[in-house]
Amino acid sequence: MLIESLLGKRLIMKSYDWIVVGAGFTGAALGYELAKKGFSVLLLEQDATPDNATRYSYGGLAFWSATTPLTRKLCDEAKTRYDVLPQELVANIEFRELDLLLTIDADSDVDAIYKFYTRFAMQPTLLDVQQACELEPLLNKNSISGALTVKHGHINPLKTTQAYIQAFLRLGGKLEIDRVLQFNYQNSQVSVKTTTDIYYAEKTVVCAGGISRQLLKESGISIQLYFTHAEILETPPVDIKLSTLVMPAILQRFQLEAKSSENDELWCEPSNEPETAILDAGVVQFLDGSLRIGQISRTFSAGDSKDQSQEWLRSRISHILPALTNVPAKWHHCLVAFSKDSLPLVGAIPNTEGIYIFSGFSNPLVLVPPLAERFASWVSGSGEVGRVLEVGRWGKFLRCTLKELLR
Ligand SMILES: Cc1cc2nc3c(=O)[nH]c(=O)nc-3n(C[C@H](O)[C@H](O)[C@H](O)COP(=O)(O)OP(=O)(O)OC[C@H]3O[C@@H](n4cnc5c(N)ncnc54)[C@H](O)[C@@H]3O)c2cc1C
């Protein structure tokens, strides 16, 4: 698009088909899929060095965790997608299979927890304490009353994101490091104001993870997307060798998310503290030998609780895996987006023109690759999807639920 400046200079302002805001796993995958469909795409990311939920993620792929025909379809699609992704992106994303060990606390009801897991497409196997310790020799046998195990996919989330971005750039996509401040729609295009510039596109899609809600609010757009403050410890490569990815069988985080999103109004007032913090003690070892130990989730700012958090994380993980007691580790914090009903927020935002959202995934590393592909097909008119049906309860926001996306 050509615009005459008031000073008489001729400024050439490039207008894109799509601007994707946020280059975490979600924005990188969607940017790539849109570019693959032939759209001109600008990816805007505020940080030159990733410091986001993708960066601190465990990288687990719970293909087994489908609970409905819809999520089963997506999990199957994701598996097929991951089988070709390393070749397609021409990168080593460290895609592999691990044994997931879901620990059951010493004072918990093993049978009730086993029953809970019967809902999943692939039911984990129940292990007694001895079997669990054979699978994961570093386990403290006194910390558990049993465990469940299932085959779990694994990637390096940062390498996968970088692989998506590199492939996106090879397709002619543009990446700018700049912070988006506001959206506007005029003259049939969206203007995206950043700290240094204004960019234009026919459409823009927000993939800013846990920051999406606040970012859209700056433009007067409200969406029911929430976030937790997650805190973890990360170690450099260590000599200790874990045999499994360890997580608790009952994740308190899901309860925290469900409870804290019951009343949207609480989220409109930043000083509110919807729920108290929880800790789901888990650890994963990456191929380079480094560990991520987590995970505290809070619905309010981590503030100056860093020292207490480190102590909390260390004491819980040493109880379960005593060999990790003295590993050198650094504390990290990030925001993790989630939605009210664990279905992602994917689609056009009503009462706005040209502004879309793609966030709030409960199982993002599995769901994003197939849904990014479907989203790109939908907007290019080549897919079956395209119906945005459900009017959100608050009457403002239309959602394209998984059901509609998969039609
Ligand atoms: C400890 C931990 C363990 C996890 N384990 C798993 C797991 O095993 N499996 C799984 O599926 N998921 C897991 N997750 C969740 C998952 O990794 C993340 O939810 C997912 O990577 C988020 O991707 P995203 O792109 O939506 O958000 P992010 O990675 O947070 O990226 C959002 C990006 O948007 C950018 N941005 C924000 N605002 C702006 C702006 N105004 N302008 C420009 N850029 C902006 C940010 O800088 C950021 O880079 C885990 C998360 C954590 C924290």
Per-residue pLDDT at 299? 85
Quickly state the pLDDT bin for 138 (edges 50, 70, 90): very high
Per-residue pLDDT at 389? 31
Please choose, from the candidates 359, 332, 363, 333, the residue with its C-alpha nearest in 3D space to the C-alpha of residue 346: 359
Ligand 1 closest atom vs CA 361: 19
Q: Measuring from each residue's beta carbon to the nearest atom of ligand 1, which residues come in under 6 Å?
A: 21-27, 44-47, 50, 52-54, 56-60, 157, 179-180, 207-211, 215, 230, 232, 294-295, 334, 336-337, 359, 363-366
**In whole angstroms, how far apart are CA 140 and each of 42, 136, 234, 285, 389?**
49, 9, 21, 18, 50
Instruction: Flag whether pLDDT at 113 surpasses 80.
Output: yes
Q: Which residue has the tokens 């995934």?
A: 361
Per-residue pLDDT at 391? 31
pLDDT tens-digit series, residues 157-215: 999 999 999 999 999 999 999 999 999 998 889 999 999 999 999 999 999 999 999 99
Is 178:81 a contact under the CB 8 Å cutoff? no
pLDDT tens-digit series, residues 258-284: 888 888 877 776 655 656 889 999 999
Instruction: Flag whether pLDDT at 348 surpasses 70.
Output: yes
The residue whose C-alpha atom lies closest to atom 26 belonging to ligand 1 is 209
- Report the C-alpha gap between 58 and 53 in whole angstroms: 10
Per-residue pLDDT at 351? 83
The whole-number average pLDDT for the span 364-381 is 94
Quickly state the pLDDT bin for 14 (edges 50, 70, 90): confident
Q: Which residues pair with 347 in a beta bridge?
A: 357
Q: Which pair of tokens denotes residue 160? A: 């996968």
Ligand 1: distance of its center to the CA of 122 in Å? 26
Ligand 1 closest atom vs CA 284: 8
- Report the C-alpha gap between 27 and 24 in whole angstroms: 6
Instruction: Flag whether pLDDT at 394 surpasses 70.
Output: no
Instruction: Flag whether pLDDT at 384 surpasses 80.
Output: no
- Report the C-alpha gap between 96 and 64 in whole angstroms: 14
Which of 26, 33, 43, 57 to mutate to test ligand 1, by most ligand atoms within 8 A of the CB atom? 57
- Report the C-alpha gap between 70 and 349 in whole angstroms: 23
Instruction: Flag whether pLDDT at 217 surpasses 60.
Output: yes
For residue 351, give every residue at least 6 positions away whose Cβ sits within 8 Å of its Cβ, in sequence order, or none: 221, 396
Q: Average the pLDDT over each of 83-92, 96-105, 394-403 and give the range with the smallest value.
A: 394-403
